[in-house]
């Protein structure tokens, strides 16, 4: 009896200590951060008493590495693109996660390892959204027909005007090969060869002088709205937000969409690991992941979340059957192995 009382008092003390704490959760800003704040941060803070401080960053692993290497960790939970999470995990920068121990079961009772979609769980990360980079265009920009396929992005004669692409090799190289006729299942094998890389860069050469390069996710819809470009690569959630909330005349071309997942990670050695893991468990519940789609059109990563998604939103998700038909998943392991060398080559190509 005495031990039970002591355990109860210890649990209460732990809860009180956690309630007086705060954690810093880092993401990419914009509509994604808004969705995370509304669906996860606020209800978690209300339930746990732990204040959630939201910060934005532009991605990559450099800032996390600097914090871990110097043992001056100020970020407790970080939203990473899957390739970066793989790289950071391999470099020993992230805490390990045991899905069935650290994560909640699905609302249907399934343990996490059986409920998350394939690829959503990794050694150091838990995917929270399926998102897509797709081509978007301003419907008012073209008077003689509208673009409908990825290859139209590279067709300057039929669809003249400036384009915009993210200032990075990922997606651009895959799209170049897809638009040049390489089958989806052969894209990464082709990029493994010198000839394949030359082919991809040669295809990008055909539009290079018409490209405006973007770095932040908020830029593509703004470039379209301002008329600076007629077509752009963009995160589907950003375009959905512009369509629905701002009533912009934008359209997504789902053909050739490159889909990926964002994952929650915890920097190695954070002094607030207990609170960070509590947030992770809360933020990856079935209902929370479904709720996020109310604010941004990214698909949830748990099977038990799917029935909870609004019927109104489902047609705008990357994973809807019609939208997903010609999708290609970003190969995170491949990019983890090739990101550095291809970033160097891409930057050199830009400077030419």
Rounded Cα distance between 264 and 129, Å, is 10
Name which residue leads in pLDDT, 101 or 32.
101
Which of the listed ranges 24-33, 80-89, 183-192 does the model predict with the highest average pLDDT?
183-192
Residue entry with tokens 């995160």? 235
Distance of CA 160 to the CA centre of its chain: 30
Which pLDDT tens digit goes with each residue over 88-146?
A: 999 999 999 999 999 999 999 999 999 998 889 999 999 999 989 999 999 999 988 99
Rounded Cα distance between 52 and 159, Å, is 46
Name which residue leads in pLDDT, 21 or 206.
206
Task: Sketch the domain layout of the chain as residue ranges.
Answer: 2-130+261-319, 131-259+323-351
The tokens describing 120, both together, are 């959503």
Exposed / middle / buried, residue 246 (Cβ in 10 Å: 0-12, 13-18, 19+): exposed
Which pLDDT tens digit goes with each residue over 51-72?
A: 999 999 999 999 999 999 999 9
End-to-end Cα, the chain, rounded Å: 76
Fold for the domain defined by 2-130+261-319? D-Maltodextrin-Binding Protein; domain 2 (3.40.190)
Superfamily per CATH, domain 131-259+323-351: Periplasmic binding protein-like II (3.40.190.10)
- CA distances from residue 166 to 17, 220, 223, 346 in whole angstroms, order as listed: 43, 9, 12, 12
Element (H, E) at 128: strand 126-138
Task: Grade residue 237 by pLDDT with cuts at 50, 70 and 90.
Answer: confident
Q: What is the mean pLDDT of residues 180-186?
A: 97
Are 2-130+261-319 and 131-259+323-351 the same fold in CATH? Answer: yes
3-state secondary structure 232-246: EEEEHHHHHHHHHHC
pLDDT for 53: 98
Rounded Cα distance between 212 and 115, Å, is 41
Average pLDDT, the chain: 92
**Which range has the worst mean pLDDT, 30-34, 121-125, 275-279?**
30-34
Could you tell me if 103 and 281 are in contact, meaning their C-beta atoms sit under 8 angstroms apart?
yes
**Which range has the worst mean pLDDT, 3-7, 251-255, 292-296, 346-350?**
3-7
Element (H, E) at 199: helix 194-205
Task: Grade residue 307 by pLDDT with cuts at 50, 70 and 90.
Answer: confident
């Amino acid at each position: 009896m005495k031990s039970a009382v002591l355990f109860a008092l210890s649990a209460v003390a732990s809860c009180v200590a956690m309630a007086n704490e705060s954690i810093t959760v880092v993401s990419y800003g914009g509509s994604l951060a808004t969705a995370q704040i509304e669906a996860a941060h606020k209800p978690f803070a209300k339930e746990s008493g732990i204040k959630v401080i939201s910060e934005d960053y532009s991605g990559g692993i450099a800032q996390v590495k600097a914090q871990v290497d110097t043992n001056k960790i100020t970020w407790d939970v970080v939203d990473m693109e899957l390739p970066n999470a793989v790289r950071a995990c391999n470099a020993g920068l992230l805490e390990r996660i045991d899905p069935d121990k650290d994560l909640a079961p699905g609302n249907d009772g399934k343990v996490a390892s059986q409920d998350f979609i394939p690829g959503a769980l990794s050694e150091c990360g838990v995917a929270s959204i399926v998102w897509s980079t797709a081509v978007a265009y301003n419907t008012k920009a073209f008077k003689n027909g509208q673009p409908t396929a990825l290859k139209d992005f590279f067709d300057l004669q039929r669809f003249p005007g400036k384009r915009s692409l993210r200032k990075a090799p990922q997606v651009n190289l895959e799209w170049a090969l897809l638009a040049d006729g390489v089958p989806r299942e052969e894209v990464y094998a082709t990029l493994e060869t010198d000839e394949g890389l030359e082919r991809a860069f040669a295809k990008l050469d055909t539009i290079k002088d018409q490209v405006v390069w973007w770095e932040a996710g908020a830029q593509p819809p703004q470039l379209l709205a301002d008329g600076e470009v007629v077509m752009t690569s963009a995160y589907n959630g950003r375009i959905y937000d512009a369509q629905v909330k701002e009533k912009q005349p934008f359209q997504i071309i789902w053909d050739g969409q490159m889909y990926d997942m964002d994952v929650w990670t915890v920097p190695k050695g954070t002094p607030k690991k207990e609170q960070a893991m509590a947030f992770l468990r809360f933020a990856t519940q079935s209902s929370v992941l479904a709720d996020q789609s109310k604010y941004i059109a990214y698909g949830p990563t748990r099977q038990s979340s799917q029935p909870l998604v609004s019927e109104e939103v489902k047609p705008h998700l990357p994973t809807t059957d019609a939208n997903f038909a010609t999708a290609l998943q970003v190969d995170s392991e491949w990019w983890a192995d090739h990101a550095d060398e291809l970033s160097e080559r891409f930057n050199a190509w830009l400077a030419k």
